[in-house]
């Protein structure tokens, strides 16, 4: 499907952890809500409002069912960044008289780390747990970090760089026993692995649409309503939408598309995970024929479509530049306006700066084919081999 839309000669898209295209079925479900059914779901006096409200209600039910929650526990947001901010700052404000200690992990997304850093500047105490070399959290370390004044533990479900899946049920049990709220950023996990907020004892869960073939700009936060009932301070004040926890007119077309995307992802989850695992293995088998290629993250406790490798003896920037015409992927470095820094996730795994810079994150998705994987593998092997043959050119490249 994507192939039809893609102009020839554009690089193969293997960056599905960054974002995904909108599925045609999602787009079709959304379209009527831009034009004929354009009503405001909060308009209670006429059919335009009622129609929109009915669509939002059905979507809310779909999202709740996807994680074994109830519809009243779903708050729509603009994405996972907003959901994480609402969860972390909202809990911090509501519980600060109980305690000011929050536990999270070094390998979290910046949408968790930055709200925590902000809270630190306000006087909260933040513990950043390290991870093991495979990216998994050490549960003993988590237990040891818990204090009487701990109010929240935030651990992501699936990592956006290395795909590693944290043991949510075990973490949830530890938190519930200690009477501490458990938040998980499930932006990469929703629709890809089974999520059950009751079985996993999750109290808050962040979601987003654009990683699962829905549009950008829509997400949700699950907030537990019973056993325990989570208190949350709203971060957006206004018309009192979403039971006062997130004011702002609901974005009906995006909400409808988000629910459709979740429905498709769940229906296809098992078969798609098998297909993606095969593609990932096909890619890894070819790449690992080269010397000095290292897999980042746990070999099996990871998202089916994720492969993250570090490459010895090449410059990270030169590697990415060489691959750019063939494949759209991300590397393990983040460019800010002034400098390039190695991925904080790969550094947390204990990788050297060189290996953290010279890394590639492959995010394989719904529209990728075996032929594309083979083409990318061949191109990567050729690029790496050629860079290794040119040590001077290679080492003179700058970050
Ligand atoms: C993409 C992503 C986010 C940010 O989500 P947005 O909806 O783009 O705000 C947060 N956390 C993780 C793990 C992600 O992959």
For 319-360, write each residue's pLDDT tens digit. 999 999 999 999 876 655 566 789 999 999 999 999 999 999
Whether 335 is catalytic:
yes
At residue 341, the pLDDT reads 87
Question: What number of other Cβ atoms are within 10 A of residue 285's Cβ?
Answer: 10
At residue 327, the pLDDT reads 96
**Atom of ligand 1 at shortest range from CA of 84:** 10
Average pLDDT over residues 270-295: 98
Which residue in the list 16, 116, 175, 335 is annotated as catalytic?
335
| Token pair for 149 | 């004044």
Q: Please report where in the chains the tokens 């990567």 appear, as a residue.
A: 380
Q: Is the CB of 109 under 6 A from ligand 1?
A: yes
Fold of 24-262: 3.40.640
Average pLDDT over residues 307-326: 94
Residue 391 pLDDT exceeds 70: no
Instruction: Determine which of 121-135, 200-214, 300-314, 329-343 has the lowest per-residue pLDDT on average.
Output: 329-343
At residue 8, the pLDDT reads 65
Of 6 and 98, the one with more pLDDT: 98
Mutate to test the pocket of ligand 1, among 115, 160, 254, 330 (most ligand atoms within 8 A of CB): 160
Residues carrying CATH 3.40.640.10, the chain: 24-262
Residues carrying CATH 3.90.1150.10, the chain: 2-22+269-388
Q: Is the CB of 156 under 6 A from ligand 1?
A: yes
User: Which CATH code is given to the segment(s) 2-22+269-388?
Assistant: 3.90.1150.10
Residue 374 pLDDT exceeds 50: yes
Closest by Cα among 128, 107, 304, 94 to 204:
94
**Atom of ligand 1 at shortest range from CA of 111:** 10
Closest by Cα among 154, 254, 272 to 214:
254
Closest by Cα among 206, 117, 116, 223 to 156:
206
pLDDT digits (tens, 9 = 90+) for 32-90: 999 999 999 999 999 999 999 999 999 999 999 999 999 999 999 999 999 999 999 99
Separation of alpha carbons 338 and 59, rounded Å: 42
At residue 192, the pLDDT reads 98
Q: How far is the CA of 367 from the centre of ligand 1 (A)?
A: 21
At residue 393, the pLDDT reads 55
Instruction: Determine which of 1-10, 80-89, 232-241, 352-361 has the lowest per-residue pLDDT on average.
Output: 1-10
Q: Is the CB of 187 under 6 A from ligand 1?
A: yes
Mutate to test the pocket of ligand 1, among 208, 345, 363, 365 (most ligand atoms within 8 A of CB): 208
Q: What is the pTM of this model?
A: 0.95
Percentage of residues of the chain with pLDDT beyond 70: 94
At residue 396, the pLDDT reads 46
Residue nearest to atom 3 of ligand 1 (CA): 80
Q: Is the CB of 361 under 6 A from ligand 1?
A: no
Phi, psi dihedrals of residue 138, rounded to the nearest 5°: -90, 115
Q: Is the CB of 188 under 6 A from ligand 1?
A: yes
pLDDT band at 140 (very low <50, low <70, confident <90, very high): very high
| Token pair for 76 | 């729509």
pLDDT digits (tens, 9 = 90+) for 174-222: 999 999 999 999 999 999 999 999 999 999 999 999 999 999 999 999 9
Q: Is the CB of 215 under 6 A from ligand 1?
A: no
Separation of alpha carbons 100 and 336, rounded Å: 31
Residue 397 pLDDT exceeds 50: no
């Amino acid at each position: 499907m994507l192939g039809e839309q893609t102009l020839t000669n554009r690089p193969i898209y293997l960056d599905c952890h960054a974002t995904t295209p909108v599925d045609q079925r999602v787009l079709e479900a959304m379209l009527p809500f831009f034009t004929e059914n354009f009503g405001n779901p909060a308009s209670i006096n006429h059919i335009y409002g009622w129609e929109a409200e009915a669509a939002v209600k059905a979507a809310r039910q779909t999202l709740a069912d996807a994680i074994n929650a109830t519809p009243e526990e779903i708050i729509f947001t603009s994405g996972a960044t907003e959901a994480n901010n609402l969860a972390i700052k909202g809990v911090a404000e509501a519980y600060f008289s109980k305690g000011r200690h929050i536990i999270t992990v070094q390998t979290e997304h910046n949408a968790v780390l930055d709200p925590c850093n902000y809270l630190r500047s306000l006087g909260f105490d933040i513990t950043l747990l390290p991870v093991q070399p495979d990216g998994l959290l050490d549960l003993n370390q988590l237990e040891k970090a818990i204090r009487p004044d701990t109010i929240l533990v935030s651990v992501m479900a699936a990592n956006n760089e290395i795909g590693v899946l944290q043991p949510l049920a075990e973490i949830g049990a530890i938190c519930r026993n200690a009477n501490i709220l458990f938040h998980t950023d499930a932006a990469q996990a929703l629709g890809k692995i089974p999520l059950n907020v009751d079985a996993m004892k999750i109290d808050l869960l962040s979601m987003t649409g654009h990683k699962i073939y829905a549009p950008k700009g829509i997400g949700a936060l699950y907030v537990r309503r019973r056993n325990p009932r989570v208190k949350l301070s709203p971060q957006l004040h206004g018309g009192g939408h979403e039971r006062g926890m997130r004011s702002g007119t609901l974005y009906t077309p995006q909400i409808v598309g988000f629910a459709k995307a979740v429905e498709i992802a769940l229906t296809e989850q098992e078969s798609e995970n098998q297909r993606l695992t095969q593609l990932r293995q096909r890619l890894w088998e070819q790449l690992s024929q080269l010397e000095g290629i290292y897999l980042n993250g746990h070999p099996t406790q990871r998202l089916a479509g994720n492969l993250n490798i570090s490459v010895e003896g090449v410059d990270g920037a030169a590697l990415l530049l060489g691959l750019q015409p063939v494949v759209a992927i991300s590397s393990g470095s983040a460019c800010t306006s002034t400098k390039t820094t190695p991925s904080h996730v790969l550094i947390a795994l204990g990788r050297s700066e060189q290996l953290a810079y010279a890394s590639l994150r492959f995010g394989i998705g719904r529209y990728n084919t075996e032929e594309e994987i083979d083409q990318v593998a061949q191109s990567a092997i050729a690029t790496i081999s050629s860079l290794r043959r040119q040590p001077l050119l290679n080492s003179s490249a700058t970050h």
